[in-house]
Structure 1
Amino acid sequence: MDPDEQIETKDALAESTAEAIELGQQLWDFLTNTAEVLLRPWNAYQLGIATGLLVLAAVLAKPIAGAFHDWLRGRTGWPRWRMRAGLVLHRRIRGILFVLLIWTTVLIMQDITWPSRSRLLVVIANLSLAWLIVSFATRLVANPLLRKLVKYGAWIWVTLRILGITAEATAFLDSVAIDFGDLRISLFLIVQAVVILGVMLTLARAISSVAANRIRNNPDISPSMQVLGAKLAQILLLGGAFFIGLKAIGIDLTGLAVLSGAIGVGLGFGLQKVVSNLVSGLIILLDKSIKPGDVISLGETFGWINSLGARYVSVVTRDGREYLIPNEDFITNEVVNWSHTDRFVRLDLKFGTGYSDDPHEVRRVAIEAAKTVGRVLSGGNRAPVCHIVGFGDSSVDYVLRFWISDPTGGLTNIRGNVYLALWDAFKEAGISIPFPQREVRVLNEALPVAMQD
């Protein structure tokens, strides 16, 4: 940097510092004058009245909040959103009482005394009502950090508007800035960005939730396409809200093209697995190979699909464990989908009986025993069948085949129930279940000399 540019930079910095000092002095003068006004006798009385009303609201809030909480606990049939609204109202009973008390006091004082003697109470009443409305409105923001930023930012803006010092505060915040070439970032720009982006993202999130619920409740759309539609709606709305918020703030979006290229290079090298899982999840949703509710087997994991995510698939097993399996595994590995085209599953049970038992009678008894089990289908082309599959060393071998229509209910338990039904039926019919027997003969001969030693 040459000497002339250094001098210009120093002059600009000195000018910005002088402006900030001047605005700070103006703000200090305003606060000093405000303190002097508040300490005047009748204004001090109004502050005392407001303080007394706040204490009275706190005293009255305790029994009212307790009774309201007991009443909420009795509303067991209410939907979840209504219970949340009740809890939000329960936490703000003191503020609601204070607003009611102070506005009642203001209306009474305006009727019985001069308007100037209730002017400060009117300001306090407006502030308390505005803060209460902001507190309720920001509950729509789901993210806790974003909710706090929007709430406190709205509180500050409302306070400045009611006190009539918005222009002075805006000028002071805009004077605190940092220049990066042609880009100027001020404290006012940061506050404006937080508020605008917070509002835009909150609206986008609310609209995407409504759209997702509409898509999920549409019976004409398959479950996998419902998930895909909900994800796409959420991405498009949130992305659009983000870029619209940046444009509304005044940030030039052309510079983001270079940044997006750099991010793409970083994704290609450092986030290969993440991108692979994202693309695999999109392929799964498009080809409809799996969907929520399907019963699948992947390696040693057997269970039903609980949800499809952008990075993983949630699979719940019979023992209550939830496995978060990366989407890439469903593309590269062999997956058994027990309910892909329909929910009918055929199971095979192998058993054997003695050679002295009539095979025709064994088949009849086995089929009738399987039909007595509740989950086994017993009609049409899915009725149980039994076949001889071989003559073993000590038994005649059979296979019993039966169908079920609810694989989510488990496979091991239905096999066990059918085996128990076979055991009871064979025992009642006098059919034997043989088992291998071995005969050991001990020869009474002299042991070799070497073993005797």
Structure 2
Amino acid sequence: MDSDFSRLLLSAWSDISGFAGTLTGRKQLYQLGLIALLALIAQLIRMWLSPRMRSWMRTLEGETKWRLRVLLTIQQRIRIISFVAMIYIANLVVAEISPWPSSRYLLELAASIATAWLVVGFAARLIRNVVLRRLVAWGAWIVVTLYYLGLLDVAASVLDGMALEFGQFRLSLLMIVKAVAIVGLLIAAARFVAGAISGRIRRNEEISPSMQVLAVKFLQVALYGAAFFIGLKAVGFDLTGLAVLSGAIGVGLGFGLQKVVSNLVSGIIILLDKSIKPGDVITVGNTFGWINSLGARYVSITTRDGKEYLIPNEDLITQQVVNWSHTNNFVRLDVYFGVSYGDDPHLVRRLAIEAASRTERVISARPPVCHIVGFGDSSVDYILRFWIMDPTGGLTNIRGNVFLALWDAFKDNGITIPFPQREVRVLEGSTLRAKAGDGAGEGAGPARGGALD
């Protein structure tokens, strides 16, 4: 194997040396100098045009996103676009001056490689993931360059010669490169298809929000998994050993990641039973807010103060959850208050109902009601019940607005809100005795520190 690999390296070096030897002629040196000059001019064009184009793009308010992305892609590739345009013009000019193919061989080669680089650059923009996009772009640039230079077969032979063998198992560097390239392209295609189908699923109003999330998750897992395994199978990987290995790894992970697996299963259960969905207003423990998204491991909840809580899915299964908008958005709120015994309870009830009805967010379809709930030590106690249908707007603020409306209504109509008072009476025959040293004798007035007998 070592001797075969050495012969491959010698053959590759011979091909590279032969190609380099074709560049030493006078015509070839002229062409190389012209190519270098055009590359320098393209760089100067980029330095002059790129900032001006970016400034012009900032003035395009209201332009569609896809057009802005196209303009941004062009702005980032001004140098290669300018070089391709100039190299083709140079080819036409040289063809008119000298009809011999050798006079423009390197120019045509540079034009072909630059055009392929430009096409790869534009095509790679379809991949949204930055790391994957760069990986695919650089791999494609290397492949097309080696292809036009006639060194692709030589490079493939060298990479295939760099391999590890264990019995019947053989893993070469060429297989790894092919696997990365094919899997990357398939994953990019799967992501594009998943994004397109997910958009249509989310726009379908006949599907509930929880089922939309579940369908999108299963679609992504199916497409990404298929892309991964198809890519490995396409380059000749034996998936039988991988299946056995993944089974063993799965058992180990099942014991070591019980909480993670529990959260994953709980997330699937939540999506299937539709107990909560994005947009619902829930209370978990002391956390009150609305659901932003349902993840594979947690649920994102945003509270009224702008904090975002990540609640594990397992907690939503095992703990008590109050869903304020499970079947509908109607929420009933209770407000307790008390008034003096001297006020007419019929008038108090009518004023309370009218005050709540005038408060913003209190719905009139379900009118407020007010009832006496008890006779306290200092007041007659009432409960005022009213309905809202927008719990995402908050509960504390609407209660505060109703209390303020009650205050204004009671003040305008002479209704008093009592507070605890204490009355001290001196019984007949009692005397006030001052402590020693206070300068007050028996029968004195209400001296400080006095005591009653």
TM-score (norm 1): 0.92
Q: Could you say which residue in structure 2 is the equivalent of 1:407? A: 391
User: Match of 1:148?
Assistant: 134
Counterpart position of 2:94: 109
Give yes or no for contact 2:298–2:313 (8 Å, CA) kept in 1.
yes
Q: Which amino acid aligns with 1:164?
A: G
- The answer to which of 215-224 and 17-26 deviates more is 17-26
Where do 1:412-423 residues align within 5 Å? Answer: 412-423=396-407
Name the amino acid aligned to 2:218: L
1:424 to 2:413 alignment: no
In structure 2, the partner of 1:64 is 49
1:395 equivalent in alignment to 2:379: yes
Equivalent residue number for residue 445 of structure 1? 433
| Unmatched segments (≥5 aa) in structure 2 | 438-448
Instruction: Give the Cα separation in 2 of the matches to 1:302 and 1:72.
Output: 43
Counterpart secondary structure, 1:306: strand
**Number of the residue aligned with 1:383:** 367
- Secondary structure of 2:403's counterpart equals helix
Q: Which moved more, 1:350-359 or 1:334-343?
A: 350-359
The aligned residue for residue 324 of structure 2 is: 338
* Number of aligned residues: 434
Secondary structure of 2:205's aligned partner: coil
Q: Which residue of 1 aligns with 2:116?
A: 130
Q: Secondary structure of 2:22's match?
A: helix
Partners of 2:342 and 2:126 in 1: how far apart? 76
The one-letter code matched in structure 2 to 1:50 is: I
- The one-character-per-residue Cα deviations of 1:114-144 (angstroms, maximum 9, x if unpaired) are 2321110111111111112112222222333
**Structure 2 CA distance for aligned equivalents of residues 398 and 217 of structure 1:** 47
Q: CA deviation at 1:183?
A: 0.8
1:345-384 residue pairs with structure 2 within 5 A?
345-379=331-365, 382-384=366-368
Q: What does residue 220 of structure 1 align with?
A: 206
Q: Is the Cα–Cα contact under 8 Å of residues 27 and 102 in structure 2 kept in the other structure?
A: no
User: Equivalent residue for 2:443?
Assistant: none
Are 2:200 and 1:234 equivalent residues in the alignment? Answer: no
User: d(CA) in 1 for partners of 2:389 and 2:71?
Assistant: 43
1:247 and 2:247 are equivalent in the alignment: no
> What does residue 433 of structure 1 align with?
417
Who is 1:78 aligned against? 63
Distance, in Å, in 2 between the alignment partners of 1:102 and 1:233 is: 46
Residue 162 (1) aligns with residue 139 (2) = no
Q: Percent of aligned positions with the same letter in both sequences? A: 58
Contact preservation (8 Å) 2:15, 2:151: no
Equivalent position of 1:202 in the other structure: 188
Task: Compute the displacement of 1:225 (Å).
Answer: 0.2
Q: In structure 2, which of residues 234, 250, 268 is the aligned counterpart of residue 282 of structure 1?
A: 268
Q: Shift of the alpha carbon at 1:64?
A: 2.2
State how far apart, in whole Å, the 1-side matches of 2:329 and 2:185 are.
Answer: 45
Which deviates more from structure 2 when the two are superposed, residues 123-132 or residues 435-444? 435-444
Separation in structure 2 between the aligned mates of residue 169 and residue 117 of structure 1, nearest angstrom: 28
Q: Counterparts of 1:441 and 1:74 in 2: how far apart (Å)?
A: 83
How large is the RMSD of aligned CA atoms in angstroms?
1.8
Deviations 1:279-321 (A, max 9, x none): 0000000000000000000001000000000000000000111
**Take 2:410 and 2:67, find their aligned partners in 1: how far apart are those partners?**
58
Q: Is the 8 A contact 2:371 2:383 kept in 1?
A: yes
* Distance of 2:322 and 2:265 partners within structure 1: 21
- Does 2:86 correspond to 1:98? no
Per the TM alignment, residue 80 of structure 1 is displaced from its structure 2 partner at its CA by 4.0
**SS at structure 2 position matched to 1:364:** helix
Is residue 22 of structure 2 the alignment partner of residue 37 of structure 1?
A: yes
User: How far 1:386 sits from its partner (Å)?
Assistant: 1.0
Task: Confirm or deny that 1:17 pairs with 2:2.
Answer: yes
SS for the counterpart of 2:62 is coil
- 1:79 deviation in Å? 4.3
SS of the aligned residue for 2:84 comes to helix
The CA distance in 2 between the partners of 1:375 and 1:71, in whole Å, is: 46
- Once residues 39 and 293 of structure 2 are traced to their aligned partners in structure 1, the CA distance between those partners, rounded to angstroms, is 49
For each residue in 1:68-105, what CA deviation from the matched residue of structure 2 results, as whole angstroms up to 9, or x when unmatched?
A: 21222123323444433432322111111111111222
